[in-house]
Structure formats: C-alpha cells, structure tokens
Amino acid sequence: MLMMGALLAALPAGPSQDRGPQTISLELFQGKQFTVQASVGGRERTFLFDTGEGVTMITPALARDLGCEPWGNVTAFRMTGERLDLPRCDDVAFEMGEHAYTAPTTIVYDLGKLDADTARLDGSIGLDLFAGRIITIRFASRQIVIETPGSLAARMKSGLEVPVRLVRGAEGAALDVNIGVNTPRGRAWMELDSANAGPTIFVSPQIAPHLGLRADIRTAQPVSATIRRDVVFTGQARVFPNMIMDGNIGMQLMGRRDLTVDLGSGRAWIGKAQ
Amino acid sequence: MLTPATCAIPISSSAGSLPFSLKQKMYRLFDDFDACASHHERGILLKKLLSAGLLISLASGANAAPTGPVRLPLESYRKGVAARVKVAGRERLFQLDTAGGLTVISPALAKEMDCQPWGSITGFHMTGTKITAPRCDNVAIHWKNQTLQSPVAIVMDVGSPDTPINGLLALDAFAGRTVTIDFAGRELTLETPESAAGRKANAVELPAHLAREIGGLALSVFIDVPTERGPARLELDSGNGGTILIAPKLLPLLGLKKVTGEGPQQGHFQIAPGVEASGMIFSPDIVIDGNLGMPFLKDWVVTMDLAQGRVWLKRSAVAAPAGMGTPPPVKPAG
C-alpha cells in the first residue's frame, strides 16, 4: 500500500491528472507492426512504434525539415550483435494527442533502405520518448495510454505485477524494457520487442536448455516460460545463435495482453487485453 | 498464452545461519507472495517475510540503516584503485571499475563459491569488441561492515599475472545508492541523505545519465560535456588507468586537433566551469563519445546518485599517489 502511494505521488503533475488518461491511437502497418501519428516540425507525420527501438529514429528528410544537420555518432547493437553507427539530432519535439514529448537524442536513418512501404514513414518511435512516464501498451486495442494516478491504480488492481528491468543503452539515451523469465538456474531477461511480430519468441543458445529447449535446433519448438508463478507464457520459440541477450519476446505476448509499464521506476503490470 | 499457477506457502522457515541463504529464502518468499491471491495466504507469508528480513539484518548487519555515512578504504592498484573485500569467507582484491557495468569474479573464485557458471552475458568493450562470458547470481561482497550484492556477476579472468586480482567491483553493486569516491584519498563513502547533501553543497553538479545495459543489469555513469553541436556523453571510468579518450568525430567539437589514427595529442577541454580535462588525449574508434579515465578522475572527489543519475565533482584535497592516472609512455602525434 505504501509503495503504491509513493508511486502515485511520484507521477508528474500535468494536464493528464485533471483530464484523465490520454490515448494515442496505433494503426496496423504491413499486417503485423504498428504506426503512430505525431506532429513534428509543424506537420503530421507517421512513425513506427517499436518497443525495441531503443533510441527514437527520424529520417534524413525529416531531419532536413527540422533544420538539423545530423552530427556525432550513436552506436547501437542489433540482437545478433551487428553494430550500427548512426548520426544524431537532438531535442526533437513530438506532439501526440494533448501531450508534448521531447526526444533528447534521435538517430537519423533512411527507412527507405528497407523497402518501398517503409519509405513513406518519417521514423520510428521507441520507449525513450516516454521515459519517466507510465504507459499502457494495448496492441489488441491499438492504443498507447498515458496513465494518470487514478487510471494507474485501476491497472495495478486488475493486472499482475511482473518483473521487468529498464535497459538504457547507447550511453543511457536508449530505453527498452526486459521482462524476467524464471529458469531453474536463475532469472533470464528477455527484451519486449514489438518488432518481433512473427509466431516465435527468440531464445539464446545458452538459455535454451534452461527452458527445456534444444540449442541445436533452428526450427520452432514448443516453450513454456514462467514470468511469475501465475503468469506463464506458452507458445513457440526459436533458438537464435549469436544473440547478445537472453531472449526476445514480442507480439506473441504483447499482442494478447495489455502491458502497463512505469518507465521511471521500472515496474510493470500485465493484464488481459480488454 | 498465459496460464495460472497456484499459491504455495512454504511449510518450513528453517534456514542456515548464512545471510546468503536467508536472502535466497526471502526472495523465494517474495515469489510465493506474488502468487498468493487470498488475504489469508498473503497474511501468513507476510509474517514469514518479516521474520526473514529480521533474521537477515541480525545475521549480517549488512545495510542495516547506518546512522551516518560509511567510509570504506580503497588501495592503489596499478594506475587506479582497488577494494580489499571478503567473498566466500576469504579476503579478495577487486579493482574498482566504475565503467565495468557488471561486477566480475574470476572462475577460480566462482569455484570457491560453489557456483557453476551458467547462461551467457554479452557486453561490448568501448572499442566495440564483443565480450561473452557466463554468470553467477547474487554474489555477496563483504566490505568492512557492509555487504554489497551483485545480482548477476560475470565470470572471467581479469587483471594480469604480475598484479593478480579476484575480480572487478562495478557500480551494479551500488545500484540505488549515493556513493562518493575520492580517488586520490583512496576512499569510497556510502552516503546518507544528509551526508550527500553536504557533499553537494560545495561541489559542481554535472548533467549525467545512468547507462543500464545488458538487460538492465549493468550500471555505469556518463556525464554531459558541452560542444558547439550539443552535449557529448563521456563515461566515468576508473578502470581506465591512463587515458582520456574522445571519439574522432568529436575532436574538433571539443576544440581538439584532428589527428591521424589514435593520436594521442596533448590537449584540454572544458567540462563545466572550473572543471577541465587535460593531458594526453587519445582518439581511437570507440562506440561511445568518450571516456574519462584516471588521468581525470584522480583529481576529483566524485559523488554519484545511482538512483537518479546525478553527479557532483569537488576537487580532491589531497594529491594523487605516484603512478595514479599516469598516461602510457607514448609521444603525442604530429
């Protein structure tokens, strides 16, 4: 009870306290990913919403519109260890709904390199844009909810708290969330990554045997992963060689559940999608 | 798919006298508490949790609400500092590495602890080199009357044959606390809110960020250094004995010369009013903006709030011991 009180007291004061939770709509993209509309540089633009993005990305075209000449370097590593070096633009302002958000650091990358469809996007928004806030990600309802003290209390009551850690890579500029999965040897930490929208979660070869998986098989295997005693993910997993993390869980979990995450203190609650 | 599990109240609360096993039991009780739905079940477990917590504080004295700041001695180790601690019942030497991210123990020490290393931790050296090693969990490090806990420690050999150590003590063992390190004075202080306020009163605060890599387990600290284009983020690295490093792209933005290769060059740049980095500056290809090693840190008393990500510097009152922060024997380029 005391902890809940402290948490609610720690919520930033702002318009949302008076007006109720704010909702940001998501739209389906390429059948399995999600985009979000935001006003940046005085125009409505379309961004991917990717919980595993780490550092919010803008395209070179948007950087030009903003009058930013990209500078410096941000190094990130893909799940398989591949190094990415990208220049940055700082203090990019986003408006979504009634809220304004500032990305202290964005990386600049041409999404058109991926395919023609993504070329129409202006970038990709990561959880760093919501740092310090409490949000509920509701992929099933296609919403991100910016919580208020009242709405958070309801989420805490109806949901189950799950172990998470905030991951702040790229010199602390990035923000991802890892969820704890129990193994007989200890807790493994898996990235919550909405860009993993296929049928399987990914598991590193070193963790695989502790989840009853064969490390030498590359095809999908049935898996049961205990997040807490009464929250068990069952589905399919693929063992990925060269992973630099214990695992990666995406829409297989988040697609069917609402996830409330405190991006300030690193707590999270999971509930049935409403 | 999420499936329900059942609440299981442990019958016995008997435990060995070691704090470690008590803590394990307490973690288990917390897990059980999570799974119990009814108030009655939770009530029983709450009593067990309170009992276990009391036993832990009695048995270890660890982190038992100190009445004042706790001053812990460091000693010189090569060009940096080290802590003489007790792990698995014996005295050990750990280099203090503020940029290590995760605490490291040697395979020999893991064996003495009866830990069979498992899983895999992958991190990247600032040069981009991938480092992969297995882990041991919940490593208790006793330092004077304090017990530090590394939730996940990397198991690998560190140090060198001529200056052997048992591991690296990184900031993950201090997560959530405010600590002050006087490198020249060779002392680390675990602050109380009151003592921290005293530190801050006469110090320069620098914009700072906590980096929490490797699944959020690692902990290191970066400070913002102003450039004409925006803040560069430089890591505070006591494990770097002899260099100040700046990424090649940032050299001109800090008023330094572009050089061929890694340099080095003699130079200086301002970090904040009254705070300057100077000396032999190297510029290798690194995956961060820069790194402030012992040549910088040796002159400062550094207070770090490892919960909020805030940093204060005050010039050290004593001169650094001979050899601390000495640059490698190379000549400046050009």
Peptide bond into B69 cis (omega under 30): no
- Residue B334: per-residue pLDDT: 61
- Element of type H or E holding A64: helix A60-65
Rounded Cα distance, B290 and B296, in Å:
12
Of A77, A173, A230, the CB nearest to B5: A230
- Residue B65: per-residue pLDDT: 54
Rounded Cα distance, B331 and B259, in Å:
13
Share of chain A above pLDDT 70, in %: 93
In this structure, what are the phi and psi dihedrals at residue B76, rounded to the nearest 5 degrees?
-65, 140
What integer is the mean pLDDT of B200-225? 97
- One domain for residues A46 and A106: yes
- Average pLDDT of chain B to the nearest whole number: 85
- Counting one residue from A and one from B, how many pairs have CB atoms under 8 Å apart? 135
* Residues contacting residue B197 through CB under 8 Å, at least 6 positions apart: none
- One domain for residues A137 and A240: no
- One domain for residues A95 and A129: yes
Q: pLDDT category, B40, cuts 50, 70, 90?
A: very low
Q: pLDDT category, A114, cuts 50, 70, 90?
A: confident
In which residue are the tokens 């490892």 written?
Answer: B306
* Distance between first and last Cα of chain B: 63
**Structure tokens belonging to residue A173:** 């500029």
Number of domains in chain A: 2
B274-317 residue pLDDT tens: 999 999 999 999 999 999 999 999 999 999 999 999 999 999 99
Whether residue A173 lies inside any domain: the answer is yes
- One domain for residues A125 and A218: no
Q: pLDDT category, A274, cuts 50, 70, 90?
A: confident
Beta carbons of B2 and A270 less than 8 Å apart: yes
- Report the chain A residue with the minimal C-alpha distance to residue B216: A167
For B45, other C-beta atoms within 10 Å of its C-beta total: 20
- One domain for residues A57 and A120: yes
pTM, entire model: 0.87
What's the one-letter identity of residue B293? G
In which residue are the tokens 């702040």 written?
Answer: A168
- Domain end, chosen from A93, A117, A146, is at A146
What integer is the mean pLDDT of A40-47? 98
For A239, other C-beta atoms within 10 Å of its C-beta total: 26
Residues within 8 A of A (CB atoms), B 82-111 only: none
- Residue A8: per-residue pLDDT: 43
- Give the CA diameter of chain B: 76
What is the residue range of A128's domain? Answer: 2-9+22-146
Q: Establish if B28 touches chain A: CB-CB under 8 angstroms.
A: no
- One domain for residues A168 and A79: no
Residue A213 clears pLDDT 80, i.e. is over it:
yes
**Which CATH number fits the domain that encloses residue A208?**
2.40.70.10
Measure A219 CA to nearest chain B CA, in Å: 20
Whether residue A257 lies inside any domain: the answer is yes
Task: Report the candidate in A209, A216, A218 with the shortest Cα–Cα distance to residue A188.
Answer: A209
Share of chain A above pLDDT 90, in %: 89
Q: Look at residue A118 and give its three-state secondary structure.
A: helix
Whether residue A155 lies inside any domain: the answer is no
Give chain A's radius of gyration (CA, Å): 19
